[in-house]
Amino acid sequence: MTTVRKIAFAYAAILLVVAGLNYIPGLTDAEGRAFGIFALDIYDDLLHLASALWAGIAAFASGRAARSFLLYFGILYLADGLLGLATGSGYLDLGIINYGIQDLPLGFKILANLPHITLGGLAVVSAFVFRREA
Protein backbone atom coordinates (compact mmCIF):
# COMPACT_ATOMS: atom_id res chain seq x y z
CA MET A 1 0.00 0.00 0.00
CA THR A 2 1.34 3.42 -0.95
CA THR A 3 2.07 6.18 1.54
CA VAL A 4 -0.63 8.44 0.11
CA ARG A 5 -3.23 5.73 0.70
CA LYS A 6 -1.99 5.19 4.26
CA ILE A 7 -2.29 8.92 4.91
CA ALA A 8 -5.84 8.97 3.56
CA PHE A 9 -6.72 6.01 5.82
CA ALA A 10 -5.23 7.95 8.76
CA TYR A 11 -7.42 10.92 7.86
CA ALA A 12 -10.46 8.64 7.82
CA ALA A 13 -9.62 7.45 11.34
CA ILE A 14 -8.90 10.95 12.65
CA LEU A 15 -12.11 12.34 11.20
CA LEU A 16 -14.16 9.48 12.65
CA VAL A 17 -12.73 10.27 16.09
CA VAL A 18 -13.52 13.96 15.62
CA ALA A 19 -17.08 13.11 14.57
CA GLY A 20 -17.47 11.20 17.84
CA LEU A 21 -15.97 13.81 20.20
CA ASN A 22 -19.36 15.06 21.38
CA TYR A 23 -20.34 11.55 22.36
CA ILE A 24 -17.34 10.70 24.56
CA PRO A 25 -18.11 11.53 28.20
CA GLY A 26 -15.77 14.02 29.80
CA LEU A 27 -14.50 15.68 26.61
CA THR A 28 -17.17 18.39 26.53
CA ASP A 29 -17.91 20.99 29.17
CA ALA A 30 -21.32 22.06 30.51
CA GLU A 31 -21.82 24.31 27.48
CA GLY A 32 -21.11 21.48 25.03
CA ARG A 33 -17.67 22.74 23.99
CA ALA A 34 -15.10 20.09 23.12
CA PHE A 35 -12.02 20.60 25.31
CA GLY A 36 -13.69 23.84 26.46
CA ILE A 37 -12.77 25.53 23.16
CA PHE A 38 -15.27 24.88 20.38
CA ALA A 39 -18.81 23.58 20.18
CA LEU A 40 -19.45 20.88 17.61
CA ASP A 41 -23.04 20.51 16.52
CA ILE A 42 -24.77 17.84 14.45
CA TYR A 43 -23.79 19.64 11.23
CA ASP A 44 -20.12 19.57 12.23
CA ASP A 45 -20.43 15.91 13.17
CA LEU A 46 -22.02 15.08 9.81
CA LEU A 47 -19.35 17.08 7.94
CA HIS A 48 -16.59 15.19 9.74
CA LEU A 49 -18.35 11.85 9.18
CA ALA A 50 -18.82 12.58 5.45
CA SER A 51 -15.16 13.62 5.22
CA ALA A 52 -14.11 10.41 6.97
CA LEU A 53 -16.15 8.34 4.54
CA TRP A 54 -14.67 10.25 1.60
CA ALA A 55 -11.15 9.61 2.94
CA GLY A 56 -11.80 5.93 3.56
CA ILE A 57 -13.39 5.31 0.18
CA ALA A 58 -10.61 7.19 -1.61
CA ALA A 59 -7.88 5.35 0.30
CA PHE A 60 -9.51 2.01 -0.45
CA ALA A 61 -10.05 2.82 -4.14
CA SER A 62 -6.57 3.83 -5.31
CA GLY A 63 -3.53 5.98 -4.79
CA ARG A 64 -4.85 8.48 -7.30
CA ALA A 65 -8.19 8.75 -5.49
CA ALA A 66 -6.38 9.10 -2.15
CA ARG A 67 -4.21 11.91 -3.52
CA SER A 68 -7.26 13.66 -4.95
CA PHE A 69 -8.96 13.40 -1.58
CA LEU A 70 -5.93 14.87 0.19
CA LEU A 71 -5.67 17.73 -2.27
CA TYR A 72 -9.34 18.75 -2.36
CA PHE A 73 -10.06 18.03 1.30
CA GLY A 74 -6.92 19.92 2.22
CA ILE A 75 -7.85 22.97 0.18
CA LEU A 76 -11.39 23.02 1.62
CA TYR A 77 -10.36 22.57 5.26
CA LEU A 78 -7.33 24.86 5.08
CA ALA A 79 -9.40 27.66 3.53
CA ASP A 80 -12.12 27.13 6.14
CA GLY A 81 -9.57 27.37 8.94
CA LEU A 82 -7.95 30.49 7.50
CA LEU A 83 -11.33 32.16 7.05
CA GLY A 84 -12.21 31.23 10.62
CA LEU A 85 -8.92 32.69 11.81
CA ALA A 86 -9.55 35.93 9.94
CA THR A 87 -13.28 36.35 10.64
CA GLY A 88 -14.16 34.05 13.54
CA SER A 89 -16.49 32.06 11.27
CA GLY A 90 -15.82 29.31 8.76
CA TYR A 91 -17.81 28.39 5.68
CA LEU A 92 -17.98 24.60 5.82
CA ASP A 93 -20.54 24.75 8.63
CA LEU A 94 -22.14 27.91 7.13
CA GLY A 95 -20.89 29.90 10.12
CA ILE A 96 -19.90 32.89 8.00
CA ILE A 97 -23.47 33.02 6.65
CA ASN A 98 -25.23 32.33 9.95
CA TYR A 99 -23.03 34.41 12.27
CA GLY A 100 -21.02 36.72 10.02
CA ILE A 101 -17.76 38.21 11.18
CA GLN A 102 -17.32 37.66 14.91
CA ASP A 103 -15.25 39.74 17.28
CA LEU A 104 -13.48 36.94 19.14
CA PRO A 105 -10.14 36.98 20.95
CA LEU A 106 -7.24 36.05 18.66
CA GLY A 107 -6.11 33.24 20.97
CA PHE A 108 -9.54 31.66 20.80
CA LYS A 109 -9.68 31.97 17.02
CA ILE A 110 -6.27 30.29 16.76
CA LEU A 111 -7.27 27.38 19.01
CA ALA A 112 -10.65 26.94 17.34
CA ASN A 113 -9.28 26.95 13.79
CA LEU A 114 -5.95 25.21 14.29
CA PRO A 115 -7.41 21.73 13.67
CA HIS A 116 -8.70 22.69 10.19
CA ILE A 117 -5.56 24.65 9.35
CA THR A 118 -3.33 21.77 10.44
CA LEU A 119 -5.34 18.94 8.85
CA GLY A 120 -5.91 20.91 5.67
CA GLY A 121 -2.33 22.09 5.36
CA LEU A 122 -0.85 18.65 5.98
CA ALA A 123 -3.25 17.12 3.46
CA VAL A 124 -2.23 19.58 0.73
CA VAL A 125 1.46 19.10 1.48
CA SER A 126 1.01 15.30 1.42
CA ALA A 127 -0.81 15.49 -1.91
CA PHE A 128 2.18 17.28 -3.43
CA VAL A 129 4.97 15.38 -1.68
CA PHE A 130 3.55 11.98 -2.65
CA ARG A 131 2.12 12.95 -6.05
CA ARG A 132 4.35 10.48 -7.89
CA GLU A 133 2.97 7.57 -5.86
CA ALA A 134 -0.51 8.25 -7.15
Query: What are the phi and psi torsion angles at 90 (to 5°)?
Result: -95, 180
Domain boundaries, the chain: 3-129
Q: Are 33 and 45 in contact (CB under 8 A)?
A: no
The three-state secondary structure class of 33 is strand
Q: Are 70 and 134 in contact (CB under 8 A)?
A: no
pLDDT given at position 44: 83
Provide the whole-model pTM: 0.88
Burial class of 133 by CB neighbour count within 10 A (0 to 12, 13 to 18, 19+): middle
- pLDDT digit string (tens) for 99-113? 899 999 999 899 889
Q: Are 22 and 34 in contact (CB under 8 A)?
A: yes
**Which residues on adjacent β-strands are paired with residue 39?**
33
The three-state secondary structure class of 35 is coil
- pLDDT digit string (tens) for 7-43? 999 999 999 998 888 777 776 677 666 666 666 778 8
- Spatial separation of the C-alpha atoms in residues 107 and 26, rounded to whole Å: 23
Confidence band, pLDDT 50/70/90 cuts, at residue 3 = very high
